[in-house]
Amino acid sequence: MAVFDDFLKLDIRVGTIVSACVFAEARKPAYKLEVDFGAEIGIKRSSAQITQKYTTSELVGKKVLAVVNFPPRQIGPFMSEVLVLGTYSEGGVVLITPDKEANNGDKLG
């Protein structure tokens, strides 16, 4: 069972998706994302299995929450640097997004 101190170890930040393209080599349908987390963290890459609910064009400019302090993970030929957060919902994964204006790099708190 996880304890509250485990949650405190996660660095969850707001970022803006600046590019999205189909990850053709992925075993399951996915996109390659580039997410801007502001000056402190910069632009990081992520693979996301969100193709059922989103097109690449509607993702660009979308604010998301992501864990930025996991070690990078090799996914086929792609190195994923952050974990973009979403919920497993009917019909596919739904991204977790701020409902008010938030700046890139803002920390979940």
User: 64-81, pLDDT tens digit by residue?
Assistant: 999 999 999 999 999 999
Q: Is residue 26 part of a domain?
A: yes
Q: Are 106 and 36 in contact (CB under 8 A)?
A: no
Give whole-number Cα distances, 22 to 15, 59, 81, 90, 94, in Å: 20, 12, 17, 22, 17
Q: Which helix (H) or strand (E) holds 47?
A: strand 43-48
Q: Is residue 51 part of a domain?
A: yes
Q: Is residue 5 part of a domain?
A: no
If pLDDT is split at 50, 70 and 90, which confidence band does 9 have? very high
Nearest to 77 by CA among 24, 38, 33, 36: 24
Asked if pLDDT for residue 109 goes beyond 90, the answer is no
Q: What pLDDT, on the 0 to 100 scale, is given for residue 42?
A: 98
Nearest to 71 by CA among 58, 59, 85, 82: 82
Rounded Cα–Cα distance for residues 14 and 60 (Å): 14
Total of domains in the chain? 1
CATH number of the domain at 18, please: 2.40.50.140
Q: Is residue 84 part of a domain?
A: yes
Give the mean model confidence (pLDDT) for residues 27-53. Answer: 97
Q: Is residue 61 part of a domain?
A: yes
Domain that holds residue 22: 12-95
User: Is the model more confident about 109 or about 24?
Assistant: 24
Dihedral through CA 96, CA 40, CA 44, CA 69, nearest 10?
A: -70
pLDDT over 90 percentage in the chain: 99
Q: Is residue 37 part of a domain?
A: yes
If pLDDT is split at 50, 70 and 90, which confidence band does 39 have? very high
